[in-house]
Structure 1
Amino acid sequence: ARQADGRRTVLMPEHHAWAEVGRLDPEGRGDALGELVAGRAVWLSPRIVRVTAPNPGLMTGPGTNSYFVGSGDAWTVIDPGPADERHLQALLAAAPGRIERILVTHTHRDHSPGAAALAAATGAVVMGCRPEFHDGQDTSFRPEHEPADGERLDCGGAVLRVIATPGHASNHLCFLLEDEDLLFTGDHVMQGSTVVINPPDGDMVAYLASLERLRAAPPVWLAPGHGFLVAEPRAVFDALIRHRLRREERVVRALARLGEGDLDTLLPEVYADVPALLHAPARRSLLAHLLKLAADGVAASDDGVAWRYVGPGSRQSPSTSSS
């Protein structure tokens, strides 16, 4: 693989870029990038171009990915990213043709705010689902069309199928490029990290159900909102489901041992394996786990603050118990 400064580097299978570099450079010429560089246009196929926004961070990893999908003179942008003039100019410079449509996977502030300026600059139609809740959301998002689950969009000869995937956000959508069996996952699946499930907009029951739905008919590739292309999606879905259920089991064990506890009491026990730097976002996912356990009849709270153990244990999904 090649670094941004032109030097060649050797990648090992555990490197995040491994699968993507293998796809783009199967002969080992060394001309595929092994790192994500903000503002640089990367052709992932004749139908797909990726441009990463300059917003790296704790919650965004190397930055938010925007994707062009299409062919010829008709192109769609998936997730225009944050409202950042540098990223807007990078997208306009990278456009392989006329931008006729802007799709948004969800309205968290690193994914959708760039839509307004990009639409103003290009006249493109904005599509996506409005947020149901305001916390952490781009409440200025004004789509001209809200795609329905199963809807098929013609992107210059390339067809995208809409798949509703609530969980990380209630309005989250994934888009399947049918021509390549490649799924644009937004934040439903990120590379190298699990996503925060932040109630009430985030819902652990819905998130696991969405993962199970994708797992039942997995694509060949994943194009996440953060990170490189990901191969072997079924194994990824399996691992994410197992991880969430194991974390749920830790919540159950902590509740069973303590009898009762609030989030601050449970957090250091349930997330003892997670660096303290990540405990604030983990706290939100802990609440999502508790709400799921309440729905399962395993935990209960009278005031939404103190949680108590009331059941025998978490219920494991039948489809993952033997995987």
Structure 2
Amino acid sequence: MLEAGVLETLLPGVHRLVAPNPSVLTGPGTNTYLLGDKRITVLDPGPDIPEHIAAIEAGITQLGGKLERIVTTHTHPDHSPGAAALQARYSVPVIGAEIADDGHQDLSFAPTSSVSHDECFDVDGSVLRAIYTPGHVGNHFCFLHEATGTVFTGDHIMQGSTVVIIPPAGDMADYIASLRLLLDYPLQYLAPGHGTLIATPTAEIEHLIAHRQSRENKIWAALQQVKKGDLDDLVIVAYQDVDASIHPIAKLSLWAHLLKLEKESRARQTDGQWELVA
């Protein structure tokens, strides 16, 4: 069981702290990773909760190291706000990609430098490689710790649950393409932003791709059945296997799937009403 505020060593040079922000969307809480033992990189500082920031500071002290940089996978409010507090305390670089606000972004995020695909960082003698993985949101990056074969997946992959894709910053076509991209890398573990370490990365990624395709097939069938309808009409049919209490969240992924079908010229919408392209 994951316990907030407790520093846990997962692999050589890979340590995890869980933030005290459990919820339906964050699971047991946001994972903050401390990479390295002496020259430490904090990956996803998490929410700006004083006890979590104190736990990160205590973790750096416990390791006997020095904070060198802060890196973020993306700028949702459960992943990046802690960067400002840590930067003020340690005066170290904050690295991450910005994006226009869509109502779901951390407006406090102010990186000292951006990040680009395949950019590499020296983390205590190990390579940390940035992998651009848009989909969950347009500024999302995963990071590969090459020494252990561990990919820190942020919200691209979550252990035990399906990632919510919220348009327009989220894009289902990009999300699936980004999943396929990860299969090109030598992976040993997935370290998600929420949940525990996943030791079967290829199987997990292939399962997620198949799951999204299965849901798309159900949405396609719903469009055939309803003929023409809005999100409220379609979610009842396409997500009939999901408890109705989840439908408000399911409508976001439904919308993302429909936009993917529209991009592929397989569906179209007029005034919020969706139908198949004949």
- TM-score bin, normalised by smaller chain: over 0.9
Of residues 54, 66, 78, the one that matches 1:89 is: 54
Amino acid at match of 1:202: G
Instruction: Return the offset for 1:105.
Output: 0.2
1:97-176 equivalent positions in 2, closer than 5 A: 97-176=65-144
Amino acid at match of 1:306: Q
Of residues 27, 36, 43, the one that matches 1:61 is: 27
- Please give the alpha-carbon distance, in whole angstroms, between the structure 1 residues aligned to 2:125 and 2:116: 20
Partner residue, 1:262: 230
The gaps in structure 2 that reach 5 residues or longer are none
Amino acid at match of 1:281: I
- Please give the alpha-carbon distance, in whole angstroms, between the structure 1 residues aligned to 2:111 and 2:258: 33
Say whether the 8 Å CA contact 1:71–1:158 is kept in structure 2.
Answer: no
Of residues 165, 168, 180, the one that matches 1:200 is: 168
- Give the SS at the match of 1:249: helix
Of residues 37, 48, 52, the one that matches 1:71 is: 37
Say whether the 8 Å CA contact 1:218–1:234 is kept in structure 2.
Answer: no
Matched, 1:41 2:7: yes
Say whether the 8 Å CA contact 2:165–2:256 is kept in structure 1.
Answer: yes
- Please give the alpha-carbon distance, in whole angstroms, between the structure 2 residues aligned to 1:218 and 1:247: 28
CA offset digits 1:97-134 (Å, max 9, x no partner): 11110000000000001100011111121000012333
Say whether the 8 Å CA contact 2:11–2:148 is kept in structure 1.
Answer: no
Percent identical among aligned pairs is: 49
Instruction: Return the offset for 1:286.
Output: 0.4
Partner residue, 1:318: none
Say whether the 8 Å CA contact 1:131–1:138 is kept in structure 2.
Answer: no
1:3-14 equivalent positions in 2, closer than 5 A: none
Matched, 1:310 2:273: no
Instruction: Return the offset for 1:78.
Output: 0.3
Matched, 1:184 2:152: yes
Partner residue, 1:50: 16
Worse overlay, 214-223 or 56-65: 214-223
- Give the SS at the match of 2:117: coil
CA offset digits 1:50-84 (Å, max 9, x no partner): 00000000000000000000132x10000000110
- Please give the alpha-carbon distance, in whole angstroms, between the structure 2 residues aligned to 1:177 and 1:267: 39
CA offset digits 1:163-208 (Å, max 9, x no partner): 0000001000000001111100000000000100000000000000
- Give the SS at the match of 1:119: helix
Distance change in 2, residues 1:278/1:94 (3 Å): same
Say whether the 8 Å CA contact 2:145–2:151 is kept in structure 1.
Answer: yes
Q: What TM-score results when the alignment is normalised by the length of structure 1?
A: 0.83
Q: How many residues align?
A: 275
Q: Which runs of 4+ in 1 moved over 4 A?
A: none
Amino acid at match of 1:85: P
- Give the SS at the match of 1:284: helix
Of residues 179, 202, 219, the one that matches 1:234 is: 202
Larger radius of gyration: 1
Say whether the 8 Å CA contact 1:132–1:171 is kept in structure 2.
Answer: no
Instruction: Return the offset for 1:218.
Output: 4.7
1:281-296 equivalent positions in 2, closer than 5 A: 281-296=249-264
Matched, 1:298 2:266: yes
Q: What TM-score results when the alignment is normalised by the length of structure 2?
A: 0.97
- Please give the alpha-carbon distance, in whole angstroms, between the structure 1 residues aligned to 2:268 and 2:258: 8
- Give the SS at the match of 1:143: coil
Distance change in 2, residues 1:296/1:218 (3 Å): farther
The gaps in structure 1 that reach 5 residues or longer are 1-34, 312-323
Partner residue, 1:315: none
Amino acid at match of 1:173: F
Amino acid at match of 2:93: V
CA offset digits 1:218-266 (Å, max 9, x no partner): 5110100001100111111110001001100111111011110100000
Amino acid at match of 2:2: L
- Considering only aligned residues, what root-mean-square deviation do their CA atoms show, in Å? 1.0
- Please give the alpha-carbon distance, in whole angstroms, between the structure 2 residues aligned to 1:151 and 1:136: 26
Say whether the 8 Å CA contact 2:149–2:189 is kept in structure 1.
Answer: yes
